[in-house]
Amino acid sequence: MNDTSWIAPPAQEAPAMSHNASQNARRAMPERLAILYTRIALGAAFLSGIASRFGFWGKNAGYGNFSNFMRYTAEVNSFMPAFTIPLLAWTATLAELLLGIALILGIWPRWTALASALLMALFGAAMTISFGVKSPLDYSVFSASAAALLLALYQTRR
């Protein structure tokens, strides 16, 4: 008789994983990567716009400087009184800076994503009023807003 029970206790079988738990485990990593990708892409887009308006991409790339950004803000918000343009430009810059950092770092993900979706929806609406719907569609403003909204909804599901 070849009894080895004195060496180690008999192995116990691990409980079988339920079908749903197995599916969730397989889906979890790609989902987390997609969420991370979305957060970083949206955050980087906000920060890239800020870099452009302060000339970090060079003076011939994007806005090149804040004066050009102020002119663009006036064009996008052509329906607003001229005295509101500096406030709108600086408010958008501050909002994009805070949201961009928060998205990348994952700070308050649900609220940050909701605020990002709202900011981009407002920007898209202003572009539509001033330039027509083609402009925000060409620049994927509504697509980015929708991605941010999905990101916010995902956070509430978790």
Domain count, the chain: 1
Contacts with 10 (C-beta within 8 Å, 6 or more apart), sequence order: none
pTM: 0.79
**pLDDT tens, 1-43?**
555 444 445 555 555 556 676 666 676 788 889 999 999 999 9
Q: Assess if residue 149 is contained within a domain.
A: yes
The one-letter amino acid code at 91 reads T
Q: Assess if residue 110 is contained within a domain.
A: yes
The one-letter amino acid code at 47 reads L
Q: What is the pLDDT along the chain (158 residues), one digit of tens a residue?
A: 555 444 445 555 555 556 676 666 676 788 889 999 999 999 999 999 999 999 888 788 888 899 999 999 999 999 999 999 999 999 999 999 999 999 999 999 999 999 999 999 999 999 999 999 999 999 999 999 999 999 999 865 55
| H-only helix segments in the chain | 19-53, 66-76, 85-105, 109-131, 134-138, 141-157
Residue range(s) defining the domain that contains residue 40:
31-157
Q: Count CA atoms within 13 Å of residue 73 on its CB side.
A: 21
pLDDT at position 10: 53
Q: Assess if residue 16 is contained within a domain.
A: no
